[in-house]
Amino acid sequence: MTRIPTLRIRLAIAGLTLLQAGCSTPQGAVAHEHYDPAYLNEEAVDALAAGDRGTARILLERAALLAPADALVTENLAALKVGGVLRKNPKQCPSGP
């Protein structure tokens, strides 16, 4: 008489369920652009507005490493060091037809 390995099947199903749950992202999750200096600058301005100077400094330093010639990032990093006001990136208007 052969036995059906029900415990193994249950464990396999549980493992697949956990694997699938770990691979999915929550609905409404924001994709972070860790390699986009403009995005990092925006996040730094928002972090400083929320009172988190440390995060703002880290974000601006990363943006400056990624784009050392970006004038706005350089200005904001200097402004942060002296306690000044940070500026956001100018909004780009969509081009018309």
Read off the pLDDT of residues 30-84 as tens digits, 9 standing for 90 and up: 556 888 999 999 999 999 999 999 999 999 999 999 999 999 999 999 999 999 8
C-beta of residue 38 within 8 angstroms of C-beta of residue 89: yes
**Which two structure tokens, joined as six digits, stand for 23?**
């691979």
What pLDDT digit, counting tens, does each position of 9-24 carry? 666 676 656 555 555 4
Q: Among candidates 61, 69, 59, 68, which has minimal Cα distance to 39?
A: 59
pTM over 0.75: no
Query: What is the b/e burial string over 24-40, where b = at least 16 CB atoms within 10 angstroms of the residue's CB?
Result: eeeeeeeeeeeeebbbb
List % helix, strand, coil for the chain (3-state, nearest 5): 60, 0, 40
